[in-house]
Amino acid sequence: MSLSFLFDPHAPVRASAKIVQIDSGQKNIIHHTNASSRCERGEFSEDRMQERANSVKQGLAEGRLQLGLWCSLGSALATEVMAGSNCDWLLIDGEHSPNDLLSIMAQLQAVGGHPVEACVRLPEENATLIKQFMDAGARSLMIPNVRNAEQAKRIVAAARYAPEGFRGFSVGHRANQFGRIKEYHQNAHLNQMLILQIECEEGVRNASEIAAVDGVDVLFVGPGDLSTNMGAMHNAGADHVQQAIASVLEAAKTAGKAAGILAPLQADAERYIANGFTYVAVGADLGLVARGSDALIAHFKKD
């Protein structure tokens, strides 16, 4: 038996092990397992293992609203519960939540059976983290506090294989089903989605140049950081902050890119959607649990 498959993920696997069936106490040899012959009989196709299309990226390219939920609890079970909500995407937070590579990978696994795109926010712009999380299966990445086009270009390059970028090459990893998806490396960029956060005045000033970078899919406003950095902590509704948010939206539209925002208050979300934001997070697991439990107990402790 050839061991070439140990080194080449696309080498045909041929096994001589016999399948044994117990029938009325008799051991009957059914047949020898042979992957190639089974393909010839049409039992399965060697090309069946394909990367699932990124429906959120497609939807945004078509101008359709994509609704998301934030996952901050660091729990695969909680994230799986959120995945069943019929949202279009989930954001697994690696910046302000108790998450790391392994806990986020567990959450990616937990939601894999749901028709939802799992996005991951990294703690910072970091080429090594981009490589590691993409290899672990996070193809939609959010990067915080992007300030200029040069930074955006570095992020895109870190996510792309040569010659377009410098993402480290690994033959088999979770993103390509451990070597089972043919031509993953050539086509990975087609389903990747890069969401760059605009969270400071410098980023607002350079939003048009950031949006114009090839490979950037979404400009995402972080209202909390943006308002804080503009001297209006806890007040994203301040006029000058709202003007900045509107300018980011316009920059994205002009470049033919999507604009996103976190809007856990229903009135804010409805306003942003009406204004043209199409990648909108409308709630978070932490907020839903905290506010829901507060309201429930308050109802019974009226005195």
- Averaged confidence pLDDT in the chain: 88
Residue 77 has a pLDDT of 98
pLDDT band at 8 (very low <50, low <70, confident <90, very high): low
What number of residues does the chain have?
303
With CA atoms as reference, report the closest residue to 68 among 236, 242, 264: 264
* Active site residue ranges: 96
Render pLDDT for 116-167 as a digit per residue (tens, 0 to 9): 999 999 999 999 999 999 999 999 999 999 999 999 999 999 999 999 999 9
Residue 131 has a pLDDT of 98
195: tokens are 């969401």
Render pLDDT for 168-224 as a digit per residue (tens, 0 to 9): 999 999 999 999 999 999 999 999 999 999 999 999 999 999 999 999 999 999 999
Mean pLDDT within 11-24: 37
Quick check: 7 pLDDT over 60? no
DSSP annotation of 115: S
Quick check: 24 pLDDT over 70? no
Backbone phi and psi for residue 77, each to the nearest 5 degrees, phi listed first? -65, -45
Quick check: 39 pLDDT over 90? no
Residue 13 has a pLDDT of 41
With CA atoms as reference, report the closest residue to 135 among 111, 112, 108: 108
